[in-house]
Structures are given as C-alpha cells and as structure tokens.
C-alpha cells in the first residue's frame, strides 16, 4: 500500500502502532452518554466534515462514545471515504470505528490518509461479509507513510489550506446544481400551464389520460418467463428515470404467442413507474425512444400511448412537471399507507391540452431551454469531477512528500516511531505487572 519511494526522514508504520481504538461502548440510557449522535449520513464523503447530528435521546440502542480529537471512520462499503475528526463528544453508530492517534502523531494527518486512494483501495480489498465492512484488525495491520512530527503538521496545514479552496468550489458547484434543478422544474411547470409562451391554459381542453391515450400494464416476471428460445428485450423500473431512460443494462424475457403485438413498445410511448419506496419518485416517467426493436416492459411500468390529439413529447414534459407530480402523489395515496399507481388511476389523471399545433410550439421552446440547462449541468458535472481529481491529487502529493518541503532539522520519523514502540512496550509490561483480581469463594456453611 506504500510502494512509493519515501523521502529522507520518513518511515513506514502500521496504523496499529500509531493509533488505538478509543471509543468505549455506551448506551443512550447511561447518564454520561454523549448528548449528540452521529450516523453515516452525518459525515460528508471526501470532505472530512461532520455536517449534522441527532440527539442521542432520539436513538435506540448503543454505540461507541467519541471524544474531541478522536478519528471517526466509516468501515462500511461503499462509504469508506467518510472520515472525520471529532470536535466534541458524540455517541456514534456501530458502523463508525472510533480511534485516536498517539500523542506524538497528528490525528488529522491520519484522518487524511484514511481518505487517500491508497487506503480506500486497501479497505475495499479487505472488506468482508454480506454487507461488506472493514474491521479494526485489518486497519491496524495496514501501513501508513510516516513523516517527521513537524512535517506532519506542515502537511496538514498546507493540505487543509488547499482543500478549503476545493471545498468552496464544490459548494458553489452544488449550489449551481440546485439552481439548475429549480430552473428545470420551472420550465416544465411553465410548459404545462402555457406560461412558457405567455398563454392562458384556463381555456384549454380539460380531459383525462384515459380519453387521449391507451393505458396498459406490462408483463409480470415469473419463473416460466426465464429467457429460453423466444426472448425479447425487457425494460424494468431501473431503466426508467424522471424524463430519461437508462439502457445501459437491458434484460431479456421469454414471450409467448401474440404477446409481442400486445406489449411491444412504440416510439413516443410514455413509461410510468407505478410505485416506489420514495413518494417523490411515484409516477416518474420517460418517453420511449424506439431505439430497441420489439422491446417489451415489466408490469411495474405502465405504458401510456398517446392518440392523435396528444403530442408524445408534450405529454412527457407535462407528466414530469412538479404540478403534475403533486396530482400523481395525491392519486397514488391509499388508506393502507402504500403509494402505488394503477392503470385505472392513471386513466383518471386530469390533463389540460391546447390544440396540437400549440403543443408542438411549447415542446420546441421547452426543449430549447432544457438543452441549455443540460449543457450547463454537463459543465458542472465536469467541474465536480475535476474537483474530485484535484482532491485525490493533493492527497497523493501529501503522502509522497511532494506537498511541503522537508526540513533536515526535523527529528526523523524512525526515531519518533522507535519512541512510540518503546513507550508501548513499557505500557504493556506495566500492565502485565499489575496483579490480577481473584475471586475468593466463601466456603458454604454446612447445612443443619
């Protein structure tokens, strides 16, 4: 893991030599339990920041108590890049390992190392179990490049100075994503209402989905549908996003006589997701582009095929507008608490339609504006990718001795490491000398 040639004065140590587990088990019922609780979502990936917390009194069960200066490491894949240094006392989720650096080691230096590509790759390779996680035993045995103590502090100061600029840029880019998302929602709403072209939709034809389209369910996946000899491409819920298709992985399914005619998709068909664990995703839909011939679809996708009075592109834009999503949420709700759609419910969705010519004009203007937003989003995505690359490059330079200059007057790391090892051995021997408590059993009094 540290195959690079280290600068003069550096050494290689194991994390177990320079750190020790420090989080005692604590229950929220204990009077001295830290009042704040940290879970996996409370640590920002890559950035080394605690972004939120909860009250321990609201959390059931127990966890590890962390104190100020402790390193908090998420051992669960795929969150292995979530690392932070505690600034105060916390009760931590069981998936957060809590350990502290030796007094002669800069804790933030270790925390940054845990986010480096080298260590993340090591953690991925050594994670185990059905829900893969890495354990302290493997972490303690892993190696870390160790500069002199003074250089550790110089590295941390310079690294955090530069990373603060990266963090600020990323925050600005994420803010831009939110603004672009809001702009996209505004375009869709304005298309549905006609405001995009300065029109008033109150005079448009009021109708329902069932009156202007054919609504049909799909094919249920069953053992008898295993692909054998009469197979066709098969779209699933995973292939349909809101306003977009993901055809990177298209499965196949066995079809029987006459089913291709009944279930094959045509370009312009709207595919609607009937249910989802998230209420906000109920009814998300995308228009089929016809890129795969004789493609059929799952029964959890409802097909809406517009008739001649409804432009397919107009339907797709209006369907995914926030104003329409609210109607879908309302119609999908039930007394059982489940949120699902059905062909019957979708047929009853209310639509307001202008004439076909106006629909096409609205589509052209909406697509023009959305294409500009798409271009801006692509540019933001590229910038976020570059920011991530810069962050990884800075960490790589930090742990190869390229970020700050070396000082020949610094105490070499091998001397520092030898002192730590000597102190550890002395502590171990001291512990060994302490007499063990023995339980003296009282003799039972003879029964009378």
Q: Which residues of 330-353 are buried (b: 16+ CB within 10 A; e: fewer)?
A: ebbeeeeeebbbebebbbebebeb
| List of residues 6+ apart from 351 with CB closer than 8 A | 206, 207, 208, 209, 212, 318
Q: What is the DSSP string of 155-215?
A: HHHHHHHHHHHHHHHHHHHHHHHHHHHHHHHHHHHHHHHSGGGT--GGGSEEEEHHHHEEE
Give the chain's residues under pLDDT 50: 440, 443, 448
Q: How do residues 32-50 score in pLDDT, each as one tens digit?
A: 677 889 988 999 988 888 9
φ, ψ at 90 (rounded to 5°): -140, 155
Residue 448: the pLDDT is 41
Residue 27: the pLDDT is 63
Per-residue CA distances from 388 to 36, 45, 248, 395 (Å): 30, 11, 24, 11
Q: How do residues 123-178 score in pLDDT, each as one tens digit?
A: 999 998 888 999 999 999 999 999 999 999 999 999 999 999 999 999 999 999 99
Collapsing DSSP to helix, strand or coil, 264 comes out as coil
Tally the C-alpha atoms within 13 A of residue 26's C-alpha that lie toward its C-beta.
25
User: CA nearest 180: which of 384, 387, 379, 382?
Assistant: 379
Residue 29: the pLDDT is 62
Collapsing DSSP to helix, strand or coil, 35 comes out as coil
């Amino acid at each position: 893991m540290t195959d690079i040639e280290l600068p003069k004065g550096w050494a290689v140590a194991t994390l177990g030599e320079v750190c020790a587990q420090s989080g005692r088990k604590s229950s929220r019922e204990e009077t001295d339990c830290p009042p704040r609780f940290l879970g996996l979502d409370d640590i920002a990936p890559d950035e080394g920041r605690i972004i939120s917390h909860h009250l321990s009194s609201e959390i059931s069960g127990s966890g590890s108590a962390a104190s100020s200066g402790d390193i908090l490491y998420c051992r669960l894949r795929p969150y292995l890049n979530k690392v932070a240094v505690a600034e105060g006392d916390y009760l931590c989720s069981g998936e957060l390992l809590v350990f502290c650096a030796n007094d002669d080691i800069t804790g933030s230096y270790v925390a940054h190392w845990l986010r480096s590509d080298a260590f993340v790759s090591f953690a991925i390779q050594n994670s185990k179990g059905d829900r893969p996680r890495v354990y302290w035993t493997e972490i303690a045995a892993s190696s870390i490049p160790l500069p002199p103590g003074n250089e550790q502090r110089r590295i941390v100061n310079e690294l955090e100075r530069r990373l603060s600029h990266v963090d600020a840029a990323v925050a600005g880019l994420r803010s831009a994503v939110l603004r672009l998302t809001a702009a996209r929602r505004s375009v869709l709403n304005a298309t549905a209402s006609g405001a995009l072209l300065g029109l008033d939709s109150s005079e448009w034809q009021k109708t329902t989905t069932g009156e202007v389209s054919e609504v049909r369910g799909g094919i249920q996946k069953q053992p008898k549908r295993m692909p054998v000899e009469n197979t066709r491409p098969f779209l699933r819920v995973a292939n349909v996003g809101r306003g977009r298709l993901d055809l990177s992985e298209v499965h196949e399914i066995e079809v029987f006589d006459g089913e291709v005619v009944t279930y094959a998709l045509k370009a312009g068909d709207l595919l609607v997701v009937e249910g989802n664990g998230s209420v906000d995703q109920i009814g998300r839909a995308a228009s089929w582009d016809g890129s795969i011939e004789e493609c059929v679809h799952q029964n959890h996708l409802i097909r809406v095929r517009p008739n001649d009075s409804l432009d397919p592109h107009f339907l797709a834009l209006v369907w995914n507008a926030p104003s329409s999503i609210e109607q879908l949420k309302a119609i999908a709700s039930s007394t059982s608490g489940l949120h699902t759609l059905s062909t019957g419910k979708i047929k009853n969705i209310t639509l307001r339609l202008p004439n076909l010519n106006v629909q096409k004009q609205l589509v052209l203007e909406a697509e023009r504006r959305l294409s500009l937003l798409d271009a801006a989003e692509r540019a933001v995505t590229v910038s976020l990718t570059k920011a991530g690359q810069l962050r990884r490059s800075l960490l790589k330079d930090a742990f190869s001795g390229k970020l700050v200059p070396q000082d020949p007057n610094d105490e070499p790391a091998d001397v520092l490491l030898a002192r730590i090892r000597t102190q550890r051995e002395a502590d171990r021997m001291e512990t060994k000398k302490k007499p063990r408590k023995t339980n003296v059993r009282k003799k039972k009094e003879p029964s009378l």
